[in-house]
Amino acid sequence: MTVFVRVELVDDVDPSLTEDVQTVRLLVPDEDDVEGERYLTYETREVDLSRPSLARLMEALEPFASVSRAVAEPAPVSSGAQVSRKRAEVARGNLRRSTNPERTAWTRRAKAWLRAQGHDIPDKGRVKADLAAQYEAAHPNDPQPS
C-alpha cells in the first residue's frame, strides 16, 4: 500500500489564501512585571503568511526596521560548544543568565527578610542554603521555586 501525504500551508491571517504561503519566524518582545520591576523578554513565534500578508507585515515593521541595526547571527555549533560559549559570555558580562521570575521574586523576599533579621546579605547572588532554610522555616507558605 502506498500512502501520500500532502502538506498545504494556509495564510494564518487570511485563510482564503493558500498560494505561495511561507512560514515566517518572529522574535516578539513582551514585558514581565515581577514585584513592580519590569523585565523585557522575547518569545520566538512562527506564522504562515501569503505574499499579501507578508507585505502588510513588512509595511507595518518598516518604520522600526529602517532605523534598526543588523546583528550577525552566530555560527551553528554543537550543543557542548554552545554551553561553553554561553558560560564564557556570562563570565565576560555580555550575556545574562536566563532567570525564573518566580525564583527572582522569592530571592528578593528572602533577602529582605534575612536582612531584617540582622544577616549580612549581599545585593547580588544566591541565598546560601542554610539561610534559605531559615527563611523557609519562618515562611512555610512561601517555598523556594525550583
pLDDT in tens, 24-51: 998 888 877 767 777 778 888 899 999 9
Task: Give the count of beta carbons closer than 10 Å to the beta carbon of residue 19.
Answer: 8
- Long-range pairs of 134-143 with CB within 8 A, sequence gap ≥ 24: 135/109, 135/110, 138/113, 139/109, 139/113, 142/106, 142/109
Residue 99: pLDDT over 90: no
Alpha-carbon distance of 23 to 35, in angstroms, equals 37
Residue 58: pLDDT over 90: yes
Cα–Cα distance list, 128 to 47, 54, 69, 75, 123 (Å):
44, 51, 41, 38, 13
Please report the pLDDT score of residue 5 as a whole number.
87
Q: Which residues contact 11 (CB under 8 A, 6 or more apart)?
A: 17, 18, 21, 48, 49, 50, 53
Residue 79: pLDDT over 60: no
Q: How confident is the model at residue 84 (pLDDT cuts 50, 70, 90)?
A: low
The grid cell for 104 is 527572582
Beta bridge partners of residue 43, listed in sequence order: 28
Please report the pLDDT score of residue 90 as a whole number.
59
Please report the pLDDT score of residue 38 as a whole number.
76
Please report the pLDDT score of residue 55 as a whole number.
95
Residue 60: pLDDT over 90: yes
Residue 82: pLDDT over 70: no
In a 3-state reduction of DSSP, which class is residue 44?
Answer: strand
The whole model's pTM is what? 0.45
Class of residue 120 by CB neighbours under 10 A (exposed 0-12, middle 13-18, buried 19+): exposed
Alpha-carbon distance of 143 to 88, in angstroms, equals 32
What is the residue-averaged pLDDT of the chain? 82
Task: Give the count of beta carbons closer than 10 Å to the beta carbon of residue 58.
Answer: 12
Residue 77: pLDDT over 60: no
The grid cell for 140 is 512555610
